[in-house]
Every structure is written in structure tokens, then in C-alpha cells.
Amino acid sequence: MRAPLRLAVVGTTCLLMIPALTGGAMLQCQEASAYLPLDDWTMPYVEHLIATRAIADPSPLTRPLRRADVVHALEAADTARLSLAAAATLHRLRAALASEQRQPHVRATGGVGAAVANYARRDPLAAIDSTGPRQAGSGHGTGHADLAFELAAGHVVATTHLQLDTRLKYDPDWFGKKDRAIAGRTAEAYVAAQWRFGEVFFGRLDRNWGPAGIQGLLLSANPYGLDHVAVSVGSARLHVAAIATQLDDRDSLGSVVHRFMMQHRLVVAPGRWSVALWEGSVLAGRDRSFEPWYLNALTAGILEQWNNGGNVNSFVGLDFEHRAPVSIFGQLMLDDIQVDRGGATDQKPVSYALTAGVRGGIRAAAWRVYYTRVTNLTYRNEDSLQVPLYHALGTGRNFDDYDQLTGTLGLLPRAGLLLTPEVTYLRQGEGDPRLPHPVVSAYPTTPTILQGVVERTVRFAVTGAYAPSGRVGLSFDAGVHRITNFEHVSGDTRTRFLGSVRLSYRLRTEGALP
């Protein structure tokens, strides 16, 4: 049997544990490493190898992953027990992600491509209706190009990633300019200082807190371009982390209202278990600043609210995962739970969100089944400006008042070809986090979940990615949606096909910093 591949170290042992914001992982010689973006072409393959237990998860319950951590996990894999397709895919990922340069270095990547789709949103399950929160956006043929630069020296890494994508003009979630021939954005732009027991980060990077492949309940990649400050202190098995960000200002009665969000997190990972306890606070006010007692990463925001008498919308939550041949995972968020029922204000429906699921994998196949729900008034608040929305996009889930049951099967029939059949049953009520909070007199008649006419969707789909080399890539999604009570109109049943195909050509170069 072939021995596991291991990362070669010249001179002295320099694999040190570093937790940083991602939850703890291995980095070479404590040198800084850039993150792999959540939408990087390599990530579906990396997640599949993690799900099949071909490689270890460098950072359970937290995404994105550092590139150096992924390379180390790939190097440590025992390829003898993998299928030929999985082993060949693993070697391609190593070739694409590994660096031949010692620190300091500069790295440049870029690409061009084209796509065609009959919907404009990033998530096809969010693209069901012609209007409303789940409106699909118009389908088009689109073009895209991107260019990313990375500079790493010692403990510091800086990255900027520019994108041009005509799809953005048609995406209902895009809050930028839509009246130009070409829409562009800065997808990532950050500087991070990383050490053995911590990290300080400032910039723009999509993040997700929670089980892999499931949208986080309060921190996810839903909003475009959420700039933030992040810190982490601790070891791989025990650390605290925090992010702080300013949400978009709003206008209220002719006055500019400033809005802020803070999230704290404690991660404990003993053996196969990973557990994260977290909380979040959303602040808003005309003359409000980001008070230091909420910025303090080692305080509990909900206690500061009680003790300082501040006006804050607080959230508390739990994420967990147990890694085994059949793994369990879940997440829970409490928004507003009424204990007493004595007064009129105590009749408010409870607000919470949860996910529970199981997954497993063998050789080149991985399966997952999970159930998730978000109640009617989750994310909403009596103060309509103290909501975790950024340019009307949820910083966690982008919808509420729904539940969903999903099953997926990931298959790797040949090197670089990943197919994922999916079956989903979705129930969506008429509630939405962008709607005003109900008045007190409406509490008794406001349902906890599934308000009004419930739209039901059954989705049969297959998504796929094919990367015959590190330069050429093809991805697609094809799904049939059987929708009952279309757009919340009783008795209106429709069948819709949603599909997309995307072709990309990528280039990469790197060298020592001059």
C-alpha cells in the first residue's frame, strides 16, 4: 500500500497550527496564505473530496479555506484508497493550487469566459418567480473576465480580485450600476496579518459560518461586497473570532441612519466534534457610532445590551458537526423568543432558524440529506432599520418564512467531472425579511411560519463541473421546478425549466517578489 503523501519541509520542521478566522488549520512556517474564494472553480472538487473523506476538512464549520491549508490536506491524502477518478482529480487540484515560490512572492490569475442561462440569480432555487423576493431575473447570454493579484511576504498577504460580468446587470440581488454595457465589481480585496495563534483581517471576502455547503444563518455569502474587520485568537481546537462591519446607511424621515453589525464566535473542536457558539448584534441610529463595548470581541453583545440599555437587535446561535462515516450536522439561531405571555407584546410569534442533516461518502460518491427552516419574523425587528440586511440582501439567509428538504448525491465518474443530482421540496410563505415588522395588534393573527398562500416547489436537478485541465472549465445547472400556488396565487400550478452553462479559460503566473 502506498504511504500517504506528505508535505516536504526543507531544513527544519515548520508546519505550525494557526486558527485565524477560519477555525484553525495548518500553514507552512507561519507564513501568510490567501483564501480560496467560495466561488473558485476548485471548491466544488475540494468539498467533494472532504465529503468522501478523501481529505481532511482544514476548517470545519467555516469557509472560505486558506489555499495553503487545502494544499496540505491534498498532500496528506492517501491516494491508494481512492478511485482512479478521485486520485487524478486530487493531483490536478494540487497542481493548480500549489506554489513553487518561497515567500515573499507575487501571484496573478485571470480568465475569460461566456455563459448562457434563462435566469440571472446566482442560486437557481432562489429564482422561482417572475416577481417578488424569489424573482429569477431575465435570462441572457453573458460574458465575464477577471484578474486577481496576490502579494505575500512573511506574515502578511494582500489580495485584490477584479471582475467584469454582464450577468450582474440582470441579477435582482446586484445593487450596483445596471445601466452600463458592462457591470463590474471587486470580488475580493483584503490585507491579512497571520500568526501561529491569530489573525487580523481587513477587507472584502465572502464568508460562511456553519456546516459546509449550507448557507449560514447570520453570516453567509449572500450579500455582494461586504467589507469588514475580522480578528481571531486561539489554537486550532479552541479559539474566538469576531467580525465587525458597517451595513448600508438608510434614510428615515429625511435623516441618514447609520447601521452596524458585530458577530462573535467561540469554536471548540475536540476530536471528531466541532461546535461553534456565536452571537450577533445589529445597531442603528441617526447619530449612532459603533460603540466600543459591542466592538470588543471578548464581550457578549446581548449582555452589553441589557447592561447598557442600548437599542440593539440581538441574535444567538449554535453550529455543530460530527465527522464519521455517517456524519451529522446542524445549526440553530434564536432571534426573538417570548418566555412570558402576560402582555400584548408577549404574543409575538417566536423567531428562529434551524438546520439538521446527515451526510456520508464512499470512494468517489458523496450523499447529503438536510432539512432547514426560517420562521416568518426571523431577521425582522420592531425597529425596521435594525435588520441584518446589506443593500436589501440578507447577511445570513436571503429569505424567511420557508422550510426546505434537500437531498443530493455527488458523483465523480471520471477525472475532473463532478455531477450532483438534487431533489428539493420547498415551501415558501408570504413573509419576507424586507417587509415591515407587524404591529403589536397583529401578533395574535401572525403565523410563526408559512404566512398566507404557501408556494410549494419540487425541484429535480443536476449540477455539474468539468475541468479537463487547470485552464479550461465548464459548469452547468439543469433543473425542473414543479410550482404549486405560483407567486402565492391559489390553484396556479406551473412547470419551469431553469438552466445555465458557463465556460471559462484561466491563466496563472507567479514569481518571487522583486
How many residues belong to the chain?
Answer: 514
Question: 514 or 264, which is more confident?
Answer: 264
Q: How many domains does the chain fold into?
A: 1
pLDDT at 15: 34
Q: Report the SS3 class of residue 408.
A: strand
Grid cell listed for 287: 447619530
- Is 7 a domain residue? no
Say whether 249 sits in a helix, a strand or coil: strand
DSSP classification of residue 44: H
In-domain check, residue 233: yes
The whole-angstrom separation of Cα 303 and Cα 485 is 44
| Mean residue pLDDT across the chain | 90
Residue 291 lies in a domain: yes
Which helix (H) or strand (E) covers residue 293, if one does? helix 292-295
Taking the C-alpha atoms of residue 454 and residue 426, their distance in angstroms, rounded to an integer, is 10
CB atoms within 10 A of CB 445: 10
Is 5 among the domain residues?
no
Full domain range(s) for residue 33: 15-509
> What confidence score (pLDDT) does residue 443 get?
93
- Give domain status of residue 187, yes or no: yes
The three three-digit cell numbers of residue 300, written as one number: 457578549
pTM here?
0.91
CATH of the domain at 372: 2.40.160.130
Predicted pLDDT at 11: 33
The pLDDT confidence band at residue 346, using thresholds 50, 70 and 90, is: confident
> Is 428 a domain residue?
yes
> E strand or H helix at 48, and its extent?
helix 43-51
Average pLDDT over residues 383-387: 92
